[in-house]
A and B are shown apart, each in its own frame.
Chain A
Amino acid sequence: MVAAGQTGVADMSRTGTTVPLGHQSDGELVQEFMDHWVALSGDAWLALGGVDDVRRALAEAVSAMVSERGHAPRRVIAWATDELAPLDLPGLLASLGCECVWWTDHPGGADVAGDHQDSPPGGPADEPATPGAALSRRRNLAAASDLGITTCAWAVADTGTIALYATPSTGRLPSLLPTAHVALVRPSQIVRSVPDGLRVMANHGAQLGGLPSAVNLVSGPSRSADIEGDVAVGVHGPRRAGVVIGEW
């Protein structure tokens, strides 16, 4: 596992290439994706040693990214996708003193910790009576979270970009409202260019009978240069954006 924060770009470039990777070209794509993501003020962790390595990298990412806020317990909201099930997020996060909330009831029947924790102020307890109440409850949970954990559909090496599809279990808000966002990226998901990524998306669309209601391409943390051209990070979206690259 190799970690690369905003301060370790040069080190990452050297050590990253020494990690054995199946295809040389795949290795190049991983490296370039990481380089570009870090250049955009993102954080990156490389974990190509299987599920345990990914869990170790994720733990490091969580520790690094939720440390900015001092209150306890820290809350992490995660996409309720089967893809994340093997990582045992509730266990991992509990060991770090974090509470794990799923975006929606986990399809795999895993622990739905958040649903039995405190409700947002003014919201209904436990099972909300109306769909509207369920919606605002999820929204408030996301807004009150320190970190959102998601996977991605594909990623682009040239631009340091990840693609997030909105579906019932993979909502728009966990990657948007929390202070920080970490996405898990598989090396096999990284393509060369934006047009390559759009072709992957067209294939997904053909398989799924249409495009998702929303696809968001994310290239690093939220930024603006509206004040005297001075780049500010974390305007509306996450202040910190991380990727953990690995197979699990």
Chain B
Amino acid sequence: MPGVLPPAGATWPERRRRALGDPTMRAAVAKSTRSLAEKKAAAYASYPPGEAMRAPAVAARRSALAHTDALLEEFTRQVEAHGGHVTRAAGPVDVGRYVLGIARRRGAQRVVKSKSMATEEVALNEQLEAAGLHVRETDLGEYIIQLAGERPAHILVPASHKTRQQIRALFDDEAERSKVTPPTGDATPELTAFARRQLREEFLGADIGITGGNFLIAETGTLVLITNEGNGRMTTSLPPVHIAVVGIDKVVATWDDLAGLLQQPPMSGTGQLLSTYTSFITGPRRSGELDGPEEFHVVLLDNGRHELLGTEYEDILTCIRCGACLNACPVFRTIGGQAYGSMYSGPIGVVLTPLLGGLDHAPELPKSACAMCYACRDACPMEIELPRHILALRRTEIDNSMEPTTMRLTFELWGRFWANPAGYRLTARLVRLGQWAFMQNGRLTRAPGLVGGWTATRDAPPVAKETFHEWWQRARPGSRT
């Protein structure tokens, strides 16, 4: 069964146009992606063991995929042995039903969340809010995005497209709504202090804490959470119920497997050798403990993942959500994350969105949001074959005849003409004859018929008065070209 992803909201041309027309956002994204990419490179250069551990880490992730079902069973047994609960969720509806069931049984009203892509994927916030629950994102970036009513624009730094002035305006509005003192200024410590104060109250009053999970360790039933701010620790320590929503792809067999993996997300994501906080959660609070949750639940989310096991796309399930491919991608660096219309943006989003949500969910991503430069392949610490997958998705899409017939015919015709030198030279001569009618300031800015699709968003240089071939023939008559 393929999964279900939230709808994109706007069409690709609309999203693209909006992104390209937002210089503030584009400057912010360009700055943050460059900085993160540089930090990743510096981290691996400064800490050779990080690179040495990478190959075993990749191997551990890939071998786990071969035994996913057995590992999930072992994980479940271990969590239950420690007094926790595990459930399998096929998609968004299952997750919502399970979480709401717990909320109803406990009479819960207030939910705090630590950043989780899996819950974004199943639109859990919307489901809980529709049922009347108060849901608060507590990661600073996610909090900003939630106040703005947006979706995260980057896997790791969801508000990296926002300026401090925009953030202050959002906090001022929030202060007015909750009748508290607004931030004293737009300096980072002032904005941070406001969020800390507001969110501390939310943590202390929460009935349920929801997190994602970076890894699951089958042999001990342990959930691994990687955070920097401390909101993950708050969410797993203060509310009486902790629910972790985690993709089935996150399971590894042993702690030995984890040893090589644990530093890869922070090193590749932010250039830290280890994140500020790494939490290993094995079951709920034990007898005699005065803190920690009474109830511990893990929701193992499928949403189209299981179907990818054993296919050519399988390695996509080894993704550790570090965001390195986003930071390396010239398309992401140019248009930012919102334009992708998916919570998974950048190269990983181009592949994962259609694979999880179905090809008809985001058919434009593989064909339009990739320049085939292979920068993502080089950046990926798990060595996922992103460009190969993007090509395969393009091919599948054409095979499925989802392309408009006219476009396919155009490409066939073009292919026939340009497959031999005579056809190519003939086109050049024909274009030279007629191009004067479509030129502006020395560039081709319009074109007739189907070629008009190309010039709708870009221009092209005109065919020269004399082509290289023609010059060669003139300068060296009789020589081969």
Contact = CB atoms under 8 A, between A and B. Distances in A.
Contacts of B188: 227-228, 230-232
Nearest to B159: A226
B196 interface: yes
Interface string A218-235: 111111111111111011
Contacts of A176: 230, 233-234, 237
Contacts of B231: 235-236
Interface residues of A, number: 56
Interface string A194-212: 1100110110010000111
Given A194-B274, A220-B276, A214 B292 contact: yes
Contacts of B272: 219
B221 to A, nearest CB: 9
Contacts of B163: 228
A198 B255 contact: yes
A193 to B, nearest CB: 6
B140 interface: yes
A55 interface: no
Given A138-B291, A237-B229, A216 B140 contact: no
A135 B162 CA distance: 39
Contacts of A95: none
Given A194-B259, A220-B276, A228-B28, A104 B290 contact: yes
B229 A235 contact: yes
Given A134-B290, A139-B238, A229-B31, A223 B157 contact: no
Interface stretch (B281-289, B335-343, B375-383, B427-435): B281-289
Contact of B280 (A36, A211, A231, A234): A211
Contact of B237 (A214, A223, A238): A214
B255 A213 contact: no
B49 interface: yes
A171 B291 CA distance: 6
Name, among A143, A220, A226, the residue most crowded by chain B CB atoms within 10 Å (CB to CB). Answer: A226
B230 A229 contact: no
Contacts of B273: 36, 158-159, 219
Interface in A148-198: 156, 158-159, 161, 166-168, 171-173, 176, 193-195, 198
Nearest to A168: B288
Name, among B158, B259, B283, the residue most crowded by chain A CB atoms within 10 Å (CB to CB). Answer: B259
B332 to A, nearest CB: 16
Interface string B353-367: 000000000000000
Interface in B212-229: 220, 222, 228-229
B189 to A, nearest CB: 6
Contacts of A231: 188
A215 B220 CA distance: 13
B192 interface: yes
B25 to A, nearest CB: 12
B47 interface: yes
A59 interface: no
Interface in B30-50: 31-32, 35-36, 47, 49
Given A139-B238, A202-B255, A232-B140, 4 more contacts: A173-B238, A218-B276, A226-B140, A237-B230
Q: 4 closest pairs, A vs B, by CB?
A: A237-B230, A168-B288, A226-B141, A236-B230
